[in-house]
Amino acid sequence: MEKRRRSSGHGVGRRDFFRTAGAGLVASGLPLTADSAASAPPPAPSVRFAPSGGLLRISANLYLLRDTCNVYVLKDRDHAVLVDFGSGHVLTLLGSIGVSKVDAILHTHHHRDQAQGHLRAAAERIPIHVPAHERHLFEDAENFWRNRRVFHLYRVCNDFFTLTRNVRVAGVLRDYESFRFGPYELLIYPTPGHTLGSISLVGTVDGRKVAFSGDLIHSPGKVVNLYELQYDYGDAAGVDFAIFSLTRLRELKPELVCPSHGEPFADPDAGMAQLVDRMKGWYESYSPGSRLTVENRPFAVTPHLVCSHQTTSSFYALISDSGKALFVDYGSASGNYFNQFNAAAPVDERMRFVEHTIPELRARHGLRSVEVAMPSHMHDDHLNGFPHLVRHHGAKIWCFENMVDVLQKPRGHNLGCILAEPIRVDRSFRHGERFRWEEFEFTVMHSPGHTEYQMALLAEIDGARVAFTGDALFPAAAGAPYQLRHNLIYRNWVENDSHLRSMKAILDYQPTLVAPGHGKPFLANQADLQELQERLTKQQDYFRSVIADRDCDFGLNPSWARLYPYQLEVTPGGSTALELRVRNYRTAPMRVEAALVLPPGWKAQPETASLTVPAKGDGAFAFTITVPASWDGTKPRVAVAADLVADGEYLGEIAEGVVDLARG
Ligand SMILES: [Zn+2]
Ligand SMILES: [Zn+2]
Ligand SMILES: [Zn+2]
């Protein structure tokens, strides 16, 4: 941050400040929670310092106050919207420019210097709008501090610059949507880098296209600091992000950049390009061999099939002669994007997604529209971009039938790599079903193993027999005594013959080209595929030899007895349905008795239940649970369990779920 001389308001000297530090917090009574803020505005805190200058006029309706950050005032007659808020001192100055009402505060990111005056805004009931992917760092800041690791610190990301108290959030600013105020329409543009959730706001003000860019750029060729651009020990991911964000922001051709620190500057393109060049030069010397996300390029595998393999998962665009595309998968822009946004996502929300590759597909591969997107499997690294394709490209979502519920009700399941956002499915396909799209014919096959929720999509494209195989198989590492490898993730629902069934479906098709979910497509060699099949047969022997239960699937699948939905939501005072689902791997029917184990005061109906689950089949118990209206609001998420007896053997509380208590 830039250091600026602060005048000490109200005659409080430096000594007094240290003696009374914290008094303002105590004076406001109970900790400010979103709930308490709803009932009564908190008293405005005592103010100790204030910026020395006043409002500067940038253009007819745009003003700047140099506070702990730059606070921009966007005026419409006697109303205003503020971009960032600093100490809140701006509120004492607005009368001088004829503003009587602040309609909203819009934050570019969550840092304390951007928002530390939020209690003054709350006292005047000014609605605070925050970037969608930093919402939790405003309204759940106190919880952030309870969980932020300080010892054994490798996540060195400076989220330590998070606010100390919860902020009541009135609205969220969602990427690629707009915020409208009077004659202004501000595009909410994702510009991660300085923070992972940072946005820029871009729109026309007084005849000029203005970008309120937060701390993406300080001044031509410069950033305010570099330490915000490091998230993990020794990494340079934030530099990669800043370069990508600046490159995308340049494409919008702003005429004036209004940064959070530094001076507003006109004709910013050269200054942004200079910053990109400087950071690129350093990145390439610091991380030789690692590729910048902005340099990822898709390539044509055949005339109609384009592959992007440098993104976090590979995705494929099958582009018909009409220019319409069917995407197989569409995940994050790069490994950096996936890993960092994943690490930063709160427990109840999806990770961030930033659009990529589509401009290149349009410019170089004849893409006109994205008509359909199909996930090879339900993993977030493969379909993270699907909600964006639906919202901003009008794409339809098609998938294999067993993925429908996972996509539409992600809270139902506890499997590896579920995307938190529900995705509505427009069409689903059965095992072995054929369909036509544009000039291409497809067959969908169930392809379990990597996950139960995976398909193999088979199609003849430009004379090649292509198998889109998701994460079923990959080329082996150099030095391995074989050519192909698979992987095994028990949480993804694996049974002893899952991988084998998948390999059989792929081998039967006799593909000439395998298009995997990571890495480049490769020529299919039948001998190599058969060799993998033999190893998968041996894997079954291994399972049977080391798992104690005679039906080894009980030792492979942690979810054979499970609660559905796994993440339940209920309002205190309300009731909801909960199922215990059981897969019986025995060759004989299984008698199961069950009871729910709930927090004190909660009721289950029935209290105990019993059921015979058919051999090699499924069964479900239906329960209703009721939560007392007096439920303690300080426990917003609790665990519940199911206690089980199977064929007379008491297994205990082997299934569980979590319950989120919605605010009534
Ligand atoms: Zn900042
Ligand atoms: Zn996967
Ligand atoms: Zn994957």
Give the containing element (helix H, strand E) for 202.
strand 199-205
What is the token pair recorded at 268?
A: 């910013």
Angstrom CA distances, 519 to 160, 369, 397, 408, 528, stand at: 36, 25, 24, 28, 18
What is the token pair recorded at 260?
A: 């959070």
pLDDT per residue over 149-166, tens digit each? 999 999 999 999 999 999
Sequence-distant (6+) residues with CB within 8 A of 3 are none
| C-beta separation of 179 from 95 below 8 A | no
- Report the separation in Å between the CA atom of 338 and the middle of ligand 3, taken as the mean of its atom positions: 11
pLDDT of the residue at 289: 83
Sequence-distant (6+) residues with CB within 8 A of 91 are 102, 120, 121, 124
pLDDT of the residue at 290: 87
Sheet holding 440-446, edge to edge: 434-437, 440-446, 455-461, 464-470, 513-516, 522-523
- Report the separation in Å between the CA atom of 543 and the middle of ligand 2, taken as the mean of its atom positions: 22
Angstrom CA distances, 90 to 24, 46, 96, 426, 517, stand at: 20, 15, 11, 49, 52
Please check the confidence at residue 76 and state whether its pLDDT lies above 80.
Answer: yes
pLDDT of the residue at 48: 86
- Report the separation in Å between the CA atom of 322 and the middle of ligand 2, taken as the mean of its atom positions: 31
DSSP string computed for 386-408: HHHHHHHH--EEEEEGGGHHHHH
- Report the separation in Å between the CA atom of 470 and the middle of ligand 2, taken as the mean of its atom positions: 7
- Report the separation in Å between the CA atom of 285 and the middle of ligand 1, taken as the mean of its atom positions: 26
Give the containing element (helix H, strand E) for 440.
strand 440-446
| C-beta separation of 632 from 638 below 8 A | no
Percent of the chain with pLDDT over 90: 91
Segment 481-510 mean pLDDT: 97
Burial class for 245, CB neighbours closer than 10 Å (0-12, 13-18, 19+) = buried
pLDDT per residue over 309-328, tens digit each? 999 999 999 999 999 999 99
63-67, 298-302, 632-636, 653-657: least confident range: 632-636
- Report the separation in Å between the CA atom of 162 and the middle of ligand 1, taken as the mean of its atom positions: 10
Q: Measured at the alpha carbon of residue 480, what is the angle toward residues 477 and 482, in degrees to the nearest 5?
A: 105
pLDDT of the residue at 596: 98
Strand-pair category, 484-485 with 474-475: antiparallel
- Report the separation in Å between the CA atom of 312 and the middle of ligand 3, taken as the mean of its atom positions: 8
pLDDT of the residue at 30: 35
DSSP assigned state of 410: G
- Report the separation in Å between the CA atom of 532 and the middle of ligand 1, taken as the mean of its atom positions: 51
pLDDT of the residue at 40: 67
- Report the separation in Å between the CA atom of 113 and the middle of ligand 1, taken as the mean of its atom positions: 7
Strand-pair category, 199-205 with 184-190: antiparallel
What is the token pair recorded at 637?
A: 């998420």
Please check the confidence at residue 70 and state whether its pLDDT lies above 90.
Answer: yes
pLDDT of the residue at 47: 78
pLDDT per residue over 348-364, tens digit each? 899 999 999 999 999 99
- Report the separation in Å between the CA atom of 515 and the middle of ligand 2, taken as the mean of its atom positions: 14
- Report the separation in Å between the CA atom of 516 and the middle of ligand 3, taken as the mean of its atom positions: 9
pLDDT of the residue at 39: 57
Please check the confidence at residue 574 and state whether its pLDDT lies above 80.
Answer: yes
pLDDT per residue over 3-52, tens digit each? 333 333 333 333 333 333 333 332 333 333 444 444 567 677 777 899 99
- Report the separation in Å between the CA atom of 449 and the middle of ligand 3, taken as the mean of its atom positions: 13
- Report the separation in Å between the CA atom of 535 and the middle of ligand 2, taken as the mean of its atom positions: 20
pLDDT of the residue at 265: 98
**Residue type, position 395, single letter:** A
pLDDT of the residue at 4: 39
Hey, is 481 helix, strand or coil? coil
| C-beta separation of 447 from 403 below 8 A | no
pLDDT of the residue at 16: 35
254-258, 273-277, 407-411, 635-639: least confident range: 635-639
- Give the integer Cα–Cα distance in Å for 214 and 198: 7
Please check the confidence at residue 147 and state whether its pLDDT lies above 60.
Answer: yes
pLDDT of the residue at 14: 35
pLDDT per residue over 188-224, tens digit each? 999 999 999 999 999 999 999 999 999 999 999 999 9
- Give the integer Cα–Cα distance in Å for 366 and 298: 13
Ligand number, closest to the Cα atom of 417: 2
Please check the confidence at residue 615 and state whether its pLDDT lies above 90.
Answer: yes
pLDDT of the residue at 475: 96
What's the gap between Cα 645 and its chain centre?
A: 39
Hey, is 645 helix, strand or coil? strand
Other beta carbons less than 10 A from residue 373's beta carbon: 27
